[in-house]
Amino acid sequence: MSTLVKELARERVRPETDHRLLVCGGIPCRSKGCREVKEALCDELQKRGIAGGIPVEVVGCIGDCSLGPALIVYPEGIIYQKLAPEDARTIVREHLIEGRIVEPLLHRDPRSSEILRQREAMPFYRGQTRLVLRNCGVISAHIDDYLKYRGYAALALALAEMSPQEVIGEVRSSGLRGRGGGGFPTGRKWALAREAPGDEKFVICNADEGDPGAFMDRNILEGDPHSVIEGMIIAGYATGAARGYIYVRAEYPMAVHRCREAITQARRKKLLGENILETGFSFDLEIRTGAGAFVCGEETALISSLHGTRGDPEPRPPFPAQKGLWGKPTLINNVETLANIPLIILHGAARFTELGPKGSPGTKVFALAGKVRHTGLVEVPLGTTLRRVIFDIGGGIPGDKEFKAAQTGGPRGGAWARSRSTGPWTTTACAKPARSSARGGSS
């Protein structure tokens, strides 16, 4: 296990002593009726007169969509799956009041029929390295929860003890590459924006995730918006920008809503706005929503759209880092890239490079969908084979059918046939378009 994973695991150990109910609020769970489950939970708690002491929180995607609607009961961390409202009432009566775990509602491994009580026991989670997704489905999107897990500590560290150049240096030596599909070295992009002459600069978070089959960014924004906001503020400090925009596609109303709330919360805590943490540094954010144009995920088209015009791409150079929004130097990073930043600053670049292969370090979030047993979000170190993702984590193909091919990475990706499924996935493989996997959709 890498040191970074160990350190994070230590931070995770929060003395859970009280009952706390987490209802998965990811889109698949919502479409399968998680709201009714939550209402039934609250209603039953009320009826039994214990509603006051047991908080019920709707969290972002827990990960394995095939379990939905899912519920995690703390302090034990028991995960219940495929719940109907009536099941929720049973859980309140039997688990919460009588202290008896409701076995028929637990997940059973389809092969061994073994009952798996906790998330960590399931192959789907055990096989993953959840760094970017560390908070998704574990805490609510509220800033108070994020702060409990060392949220905004990276920002405080950067502002108090690092110069902008040192921040860029750290990102550079982490070797982080853009997770939006291009795989461009993030540190270099930051340095270009910093060095570009100009008094006014901008930071943009590209959340126009449009590749079919991809829903990584949406779940990060819905489940852990503050990690992205923290990454953006650090980017603003490093590049010398005082304003940022999150450009979210309109097809993601929940992500828009959660980001709006997160920005308001961060402003209230003075983590956004004038004189952040009394360091003299000022930075503020705004959300802009797209209007249904796939091309706006391309950075120059996105900037055209932010100008309020048609999303027509512009030839590069000049690159946005030199001449972007309103003709000013502009840094554009993808959601997942930005969510990596707090980790790198807080734990150091050296820790980060322990994961994944040389030249393509870190993890990548993949969206697993289609004819596979467990669908949902999967985060693994880069360099992991497709076969491992589909079989060890995804549980293979229903009916134990033979694997024929997988399509990866949206239009820029390609089809991976069986013969190639044992090769490692990297962001640098972008140079060979057929193996590009920097965009993590997989169906």
If one asks whether residue 30 binds other proteins (CB under 8 A), the answer comes out as yes
Q: How far is the C-alpha of 441 from the C-alpha of 215, rounded, in Å?
A: 7
Supply the minimum distance, in Å, between the C-beta of residue 443 and other proteins: 4
In the β-sheet with 56-59, what is the strand arrangement from edge to edge? Answer: 56-59, 20-24, 71-74, 78-80
Q: Residue 375 or 421: which CB sits closer to other proteins?
A: 375
> Cβ of 320: how many Cβ atoms within 10 Å?
25
If one asks whether residue 367 binds other proteins (CB under 8 A), the answer comes out as yes
Supply the minimum distance, in Å, between the C-beta of residue 198 and other proteins: 17
Q: How far is the C-alpha of 26 from the C-alpha of 68, rounded, in Å?
A: 9
Supply the minimum distance, in Å, between the C-beta of residue 358 and other proteins: 32
Decide if 167 contacts 239 (C-beta within 8 A): no
H, E, C per residue of 203-257: EEEEECCCCCCCCHHHHHHHHCHHHHHHHHHHHHHHHCCCEEEEEECCCCHHHHH
Encoded one letter per residue, x for contact with other proteins by CB under 8 A and - for no contact, window 296-315 reads: ---------xxxxxxx----
Q: Residue 375 or 436: which CB sits closer to other proteins?
A: 375
Supply the minimum distance, in Å, between the C-beta of residue 66 and other proteins: 7
If one asks whether residue 371 binds other proteins (CB under 8 A), the answer comes out as yes
- In whole angstroms, how far apart are CA 376 and each of 43, 214, 339? 29, 10, 19
Under rule CB under 8 A, how many of the chain's residues touch other proteins?
A: 46
- In whole angstroms, how far apart are CA 165 and each of 57, 62, 319? 40, 37, 21
If one asks whether residue 405 binds other proteins (CB under 8 A), the answer comes out as no
Supply the minimum distance, in Å, between the C-beta of residue 60 and other proteins: 13
Supply the minimum distance, in Å, between the C-beta of residue 359 and other proteins: 29
If one asks whether residue 252 binds other proteins (CB under 8 A), the answer comes out as yes
Encoded one letter per residue, x for contact with other proteins by CB under 8 A and - for no contact, window 278-297 reads: ----------xxxxxxx---
Encoded one letter per residue, x for contact with other proteins by CB under 8 A and - for no contact, window 91-130 reads: ----------------------------------------
The stretch among 63-71, 92-100, 141-149, 173-181 that binds other proteins (CB under 8 A) is 63-71
If one asks whether residue 321 binds other proteins (CB under 8 A), the answer comes out as no
Supply the minimum distance, in Å, between the C-beta of residue 32 and other proteins: 6
Q: Residue 244 or 441: which CB sits closer to other proteins?
A: 441
Decide if 406 contacts 442 (C-beta within 8 A): yes
Q: Residue 45 or 228: which CB sits closer to other proteins?
A: 228
Q: Residue 408 or 426: which CB sits closer to other proteins?
A: 408
Nearest to 34 by CA among 65, 74, 76: 65
Nearest to 33 by CA among 79, 72, 88: 88
The stretch among 123-131, 267-275, 346-354, 364-372 that binds other proteins (CB under 8 A) is 364-372
Decide if 235 contacts 190 (C-beta within 8 A): yes
Supply the minimum distance, in Å, between the C-beta of residue 247 and other proteins: 11
Which of positions 121-180 make contact with other proteins (CB under 8 A)? none
If one asks whether residue 212 binds other proteins (CB under 8 A), the answer comes out as yes
Q: Residue 44 or 336: which CB sits closer to other proteins?
A: 336
Q: Out of 321, 369, 382, 390, which residue is the one contacting other proteins (CB under 8 A)?
A: 369
Decide if 181 contacts 408 (C-beta within 8 A): no
> Cβ of 162: how many Cβ atoms within 10 Å?
18
The residue length of the chain stands at 443
Q: How far is the C-alpha of 198 from the C-alpha of 241, rounded, in Å?
A: 10
Supply the minimum distance, in Å, between the C-beta of residue 351 and other proteins: 31
* Start-to-end Cα distance in the chain: 29
Q: How far is the C-alpha of 390 from the C-alpha of 282, rounded, in Å?
A: 45
If one asks whether residue 434 binds other proteins (CB under 8 A), the answer comes out as no
Q: Residue 183 or 376: which CB sits closer to other proteins?
A: 376
Q: Residue 69 or 175: which CB sits closer to other proteins?
A: 69
Give the distance from CA 122 to its chain's centroid.
20
Supply the minimum distance, in Å, between the C-beta of residue 28 and other proteins: 4
Nearest to 228 by CA among 278, 262, 181, 276: 262
Residues paired with 378 in a beta bridge: 366
Supply the minimum distance, in Å, between the C-beta of residue 236 and other proteins: 19
Q: 3-class DSSP state for residue 322?
A: coil
Decide if 203 contacts 236 (C-beta within 8 A): yes
By the criterion CB under 8 A, which residues form the site for other proteins? 26-28, 30-32, 65-66, 68, 209-215, 218, 250-253, 288-294, 305-311, 326, 367-371, 375-376, 407, 441, 443
